[in-house]
Amino acid sequence: MTQELRIGVDLGGTKTEAVVVRLGGPDPEVLARRRIATARDLGYEHIVEQTRALVVEVARDAGLEIAGNAGAGVSGIGVGMPGSVTTRRADGSASPVPLVKNSNTTCLNGMPFRADLAKALGRTDLAFANDANCFALAEAVWGAARGARVAFGVIMGTGVGGGVVMRDSREGSRARAWDGAQGIAGEWGHVVLDPSNGPPCYCGRRGCIETYLSGPAIERDYATRSGKSLRLSEIAELAKEGDKVASALLTERVDIFGRALSVVIDVLDPDVIVLGGGVSNLELLYAEGVRAVARWVFNDELLTRILKNELGDSAGVLGAALLDRA
C-alpha cells in the first residue's frame, strides 16, 4: 500500500471524533486526534457546522489545510454516522440528493447531510458509511477480526447496530464493508423480538434488540425495577456483589443477547463477531454470553469466535478513515 493521509470522522450519539491517519503500514499512524460531545440537541445545522469545524481543526493540528479536494496531501475524508441514506423523498418522488434515514440522532433523518457537509468543507471526495460498518472495518483490518474472511461487528452503546465485513478468497485481499441493496446490512439492532409487548423504539416499532441491549435501555430498566438511577458499570458491580435486581436484569439481558446473536450466526455464519460500545465492557458477555449464543445457534457447536474489540471506542473513526479503500 502506498502511504497516504486520510481524515476519518465518527459522528456518534454522544461524541464526535476526528483523526488524521497515515495509511500504508500494518497499523494506523494517527497524526492528530480531536474529540467533542455531539450536540444533537442543538439541531441539524449545528451538527453540520460542528462537524465541519472539527475536521478543519484536526487537519490543522496535523499541519494540513483541507480547502479543495487536493488540499495539502489529504487524499480523502471518510465519515461514519448513525443510520444510512435513502434516495426517496417523503412525497415518494426520486431525489438526486441522498437523505439520511434510520438514524438515532433523529435530527439527521430526512436531511442531505452528505451534501451539506461536502459544501461546508468545499470538498467532494467525502465517503460515508454507517458507523457500525466503520467499526467492523477497522477491527477487520487492524483489530480483533484481523484476517477474518467474514466478520460481524456489533456496537452496543447509546444504540445497537452491526456491520458486515468480507474478504474474498485471494490471499492479501482487502477487507470490504458490505452495506447491502438498501444500505441496511448489519442493522441487527432493529430486528424485532417482541412487536406486541416489547419496549417502544424510536424507529416506531416495539421490542427491537436496541430496546433491550443498549446501555441506556439497561440503565432505564434497572431504574424502573430498583428506583435507583445508576450507570451500567455500577449495575454490573452490584450484580457481582449479589444484588438481586441487578443480577436478574443482567441474566435476562444475557439470554436476549444469546438469542439475538444466534440469528446473525444462523444467517451470516461469520468467522468472528467483535463486540464494541459501552455494553461490550460487561465481562459476562464473554462467558455466560457465549454460552447463551451456543444454546440458541442452529448447530451442534459454536465455532464463531466472539471477541471484545481491540481498538476501543476509536475503532469507528479509524474505520471511517478507510472508507474509500473499502
Measured distance CA(20)–CA(90) in Å, rounded: 36
Q: Which of 214-228, 269-283, 287-301, 311-325 has the lowest mean pLDDT?
A: 311-325
Within 7-162, where are the H helices?
A: 44-61, 113-121, 131-142
Q: Which domains does the chain have, with CATH numbers?
A: 4-133+314-325 (3.30.420.40), 147-309 (3.30.420.40)
Local structure of 179: helix, strand or coil: coil
Average confidence (pLDDT) over 218-232: 97
pLDDT on residue 181: 84
Mean pLDDT of the chain: 89
- Judge contact between 72 and 36, C-beta under 8 A: no
Judged against a pLDDT cut of 80, whether residue 325 lies above it is answered with no
Closest by alpha carbon to 137, among 281, 241, 226, 10? Answer: 10
State percent of the chain over pLDDT 70: 92
**pLDDT, tens digit, 9 for 90 and up, residues 56-67:** 999 999 998 776
Judged against a pLDDT cut of 90, whether residue 120 lies above it is answered with yes
Beta strands 29-37 and 15-23, pairing class: antiparallel
Predicted confidence band at 35 (pLDDT cuts at 50, 70, 90)? very high
Residue found by looking up cell 438469542 in the block? 259
pLDDT on residue 64: 87
